[in-house]
């Protein structure tokens, strides 16, 4: 379920999803790269997954394509559809503690900057 998108400087389409849900796909929402040219045209690849219950939002690429910015909204919401968790997610018993993963910290929406290890343009 595409929610919003961006296009990088090479013309690749990046699609952020909201609402796929683990029940339908077996995975959480995320950011997908869709090739727009060549033999792989219209082929999508999962690039970044968000935690259970979250949605991916607002992809944006730096002009040099060396950094992708994404917003992770409402991590930990729900959980009943995630087979590994299997019950609703409450503050006292969250399905994730993203992004800190500390037992005394709640989940928090965040803006994440993604870079390539060692530097360079992001590619899939």
Domain boundaries, the chain: 2-115
pLDDT of residue 76: 75
pLDDT of residue 20: 58
Average pLDDT, the chain: 83
> How far apart are alpha carbons 105 and 97 in whole angstroms?
7
Looking at the predicted structure, is the pLDDT value of residue 88 above 90?
no
**Stated pTM of the model:** 0.79
Query: What is the per-residue burial (b if ≥16 Cβ within 10 Å, else e) of 69-94?
Result: ebbbbebbbbbeebeebeeebeeeeb
Percent of the chain with pLDDT over 90: 34
Per the CB < 8 A criterion, the answer to whether 54 and 69 are in contact is no
């Amino acid at each position: 379920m595409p929610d919003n998108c961006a296009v990088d400087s090479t013309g690749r389409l990046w699609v952020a999803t909201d609402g796929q849900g683990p029940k339908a796909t077996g995975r959480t929402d995320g950011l997908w790269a869709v090739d727009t040219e060549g033999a792989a045209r219209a082929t999508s690849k999962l690039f970044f997954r968000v935690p259970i219950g979250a949605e991916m939002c607002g992809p944006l690429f730096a002009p040099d394509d060396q950094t992708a910015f994404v917003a992770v909204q409402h991590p930990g919401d729900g959980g009943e559809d995630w087979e590994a968790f299997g019950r609703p997610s409450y503050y006292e018993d969250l399905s994730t503690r993203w992004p800190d993963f500390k037992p005394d910290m709640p989940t928090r929406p965040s803006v994440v900057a993604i870079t390539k290890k060692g530097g360079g343009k992001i590619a899939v």
